Structure 1
Amino acid sequence: MSEMKWPKLEDGDMLKRLAHPEGKVKMVLDTDAFNEVDDQFALAYSLLSPAKLDLLAVTAAPFFNWNSTSPREGMEKSYHEIFNIYKLMDLDSPPPVYRGSNQYMSSREEYVPSEAADKIIELAFSNGSDPLYVTAIGAVTNVASAIVKCPEIIHKIIVVWLGPNSYWWPTQKIFNVSQDYHASSILFDSGVPLIVLPCHSVASHLLTTPYEIDACLRDKNKLGTYFSDLIRGRFTRFGQDRMGWSKVLWDVSAIAWLLNEKWVPSAVRRAPILNPNFTYSFDDTRHFYKEAIDIDRSEVFKDMFQKLAQQN
């Protein structure tokens, strides 16, 4: 456990923050946009939902896997992919984009400086009495760094995170969590208002296929054809371009929760402790957080595909 002293929200205040937002929300999207194919869907879905989401900024998150040579390169690739989505959408005034962390946190007390962390702090304090929703769909290095650099933003932000698995799942060793253990544990221990969209077994329901994507999006517009090519390219790369295979659009779940909690019901629990071996320990005296327990794939995809197909 960290030695840091975090600002504390009383239980009543925390429960108010964890309630589903009424009306339009101001948000930042923190995304490792080049990592897979689902971030691009989530980014476009956010931009095409202006009645509910006021996207103030997009920040590039680091990632390190087969698609990058380092967290720094992953962040840079994500930074440029965000602009690629903007270009495909022909946006007149897209939200500003900020580079994120070049590396993961080396300890819980040392933040990684970045434009992204600074912008999260700035927007947190420029939003008046309304909270800033920081929607994180990658490793949370940028978000945790902002919290460590300026712990007072705990009173100003609500983090919506596509990261761990369900609390009862036997392991939390999953990409968005395991890349940066220190950052992930800070989200659970700092007391920042936290909404978790579990990969297994909630977001994992958001399965689609190249056939569905082609039927719904191909040739509808430049963005739709790009998404079709992305999905088919990924299936080909991994030898999965045959009948019966499907792909999860994990990150879409975080946007869906913000748009309509009826599609993504959730429950309040006491925050778990994330152990270094990526299991949970539990302590019923800890602060509250909220975790999604289900997702209505049909309602989410109907809404998203309609918006994407109609994008001009």
Structure 2
Amino acid sequence: MKQHSIFILLIFLTTLSCSEKSAQNQESAKNQQTDTKKIRVIFDTDANNEVDDQHALAYLLFNGDTFAIDGITVNATKNGGDINEQFQEAERIVKLCSLDGKIPLLKGANGSFDQIKNQTNADTFDGSHAVNFIIEHAKQATSEKLVLLAVGKLTNVALALKKDPSIAAQIRVVWLGSNYPEPGEYNQDNDTVSMNYVLNTPVDFEMVTVRYGKPSGTDAVKVTKEEIHQRMSGKGPKVTTPVTGRHQVAFSTFGDYSVNLFDHIEYYGNPPARALFDMAAVAIVKNPSWAKARQIPCPILINNQWVERPQNQRKITVWEDFNRDQIMQDFYQSMDHYVLAQK
């Protein structure tokens, strides 16, 4: 009788163990399924240029339930110093978002595409760390294309496509830049050759328009100094080691650094405000309904003027008419209820 009881007990324990393993496997499968639904992103930024890059990066890093961040690559444009200063600002934001050492952060091009394009076969060149990283991760095939979310000049993206054209089929380039169909715009003017190279490459390309002073571009996604003071103070995780910002003051939260950045920036218009261009680009990748998209035959920029090519079979997407209120509402909600991103 005693042996019979022991036998029954063994059967029960075995069944219980199998049930637990089954539950663990189901949970693991569920987590894997959830991860595959996230949008894979490499964020390419001139982080120290003004104030929108920092807010775009924090918004991205605080939406870990939407985005899987493969890494952050940095480039240098005319404002904000060289590649080291741009890198340091991106590093500050990553640290203030409590993700230091958890998301790859790499230096990209300091110079222009035209200066570097003939060096990509070398073991190292200006921007090689970022370029090689982009290529490596583009080739990590999934059911969805890797999003290269570029919010500065397109140098790193163009160099990656030049070095390995095969990645064109595996990436989706979303670029914050251009006043299309009008000339000018900061990101565009910092490296027009790289932009034209990407436009002439058969890669999925989406142009998130800027359009200074017009309601149809990301310039319409504006905030005032008073709004930032009211909504951002103390927001985000509190880090144990304070981070010294670019104005030589230390901060423990991204929200407090945001306030400091807006205390040291110029304002335009009535009421005086500042646009968060780059953050709007992150927003429409998260939720495309917050702007309007249309496809056009891919144009080209010649002598700083857009030239239409109506017979061009290659199409690109143009984003315009951004819903400022919905984008800002989600931005603040992400600051209030952040979910930290993962690789």
TM-score > 0.5 by shorter chain = yes
Deviation string, structure 1 residues 253-310 (Cα, Å, up to 9, x no partner): 2101111111122111111112132433333323011111211111110011121134
1:285 aligns with 2:338: no
Contact 2:117–2:159 (CA under 8 A) maintained in structure 1? no
Deviation string, structure 1 residues 58-79 (Cα, Å, up to 9, x no partner): 00111113x32xxxx1x21121
Match of 1:132 among 146, 150, 154: 146
Contact 1:79–1:99 (CA under 8 A) maintained in structure 2? yes
1:234 aligns with 2:242: no
Counterpart in the other structure of 2:250: none
Counterpart in the other structure of 1:118: 132
Counterpart in the other structure of 2:198: 187
Counterpart in the other structure of 2:273: 246
**CA apart distance, 1:225:** 1.1
1:164 aligns with 2:191: no
Deviation string, structure 1 residues 112-165 (Cα, Å, up to 9, x no partner): 542111100000001334311000000010000000011111111010000111
Q: Give SS of 2:72's match.
A: strand
Counterpart in the other structure of 1:210: 225
Counterpart in the other structure of 2:110: 102
- The aligned amino acid for 1:52 is T
Q: Give SS of 2:329's match.
A: helix
In structure 2, distance between residues paired with 1:289 and 1:219: 40
Q: Give SS of 1:234's match.
A: coil
Match of 1:174 among 174, 182, 185: 185
Q: Percent identity?
A: 28
Counterpart in the other structure of 2:60: 46
In structure 2, distance between residues paired with 1:307 and 1:243: 27
How many aligned residue pairs are there?
278
Q: Give SS of 1:190's match.
A: coil
Counterpart in the other structure of 2:303: 276
For normalisation by structure 1, the TM-score amounts to 0.83
**CA apart distance, 1:49:** 1.1
RMSD: 2.1
In structure 2, distance between residues paired with 1:139 and 1:226: 25
Q: Which has the larger radius of gyration?
A: 2
In structure 2, distance between residues paired with 1:211 and 1:29: 29
**CA apart distance, 1:233:** 0.9
Could you list the runs of 4 or more consecutive aligned residues of structure 1 that deviate by over 4 angstroms after TM superposition? 240-243
Stretch moving more, 182-191 or 136-145: 182-191
In structure 1, distance between residues paired with 2:142 and 2:235: 40
Stretch moving more, 33-42 or 186-195: 186-195
Counterpart in the other structure of 2:72: 58
The gaps in structure 2 that reach 5 residues or longer are 1-35, 121-125, 237-252
1:80 aligns with 2:88: yes
In structure 1, distance between residues paired with 2:169 and 2:307: 25
Match of 2:328 among 292, 296, 301: 301
For normalisation by structure 2, the TM-score amounts to 0.76
1:263 aligns with 2:290: yes
In structure 2, distance between residues paired with 1:293 and 1:232: 29
In structure 1, distance between residues paired with 2:156 and 2:207: 17
**CA apart distance, 1:108:** 9.1
* Alignment CA distance shift 1:139-1:92 (3 Å): closer
Deviation string, structure 1 residues 40-91 (Cα, Å, up to 9, x no partner): 00001111112221111000111113x32xxxx1x21121111111221223
Contact 1:220–1:310 (CA under 8 A) maintained in structure 2? no
- The aligned amino acid for 1:35 is N
Counterpart in the other structure of 1:150: 164
Stretch moving more, 81-90 or 176-185: 81-90
Contact 1:161–1:197 (CA under 8 A) maintained in structure 2? yes
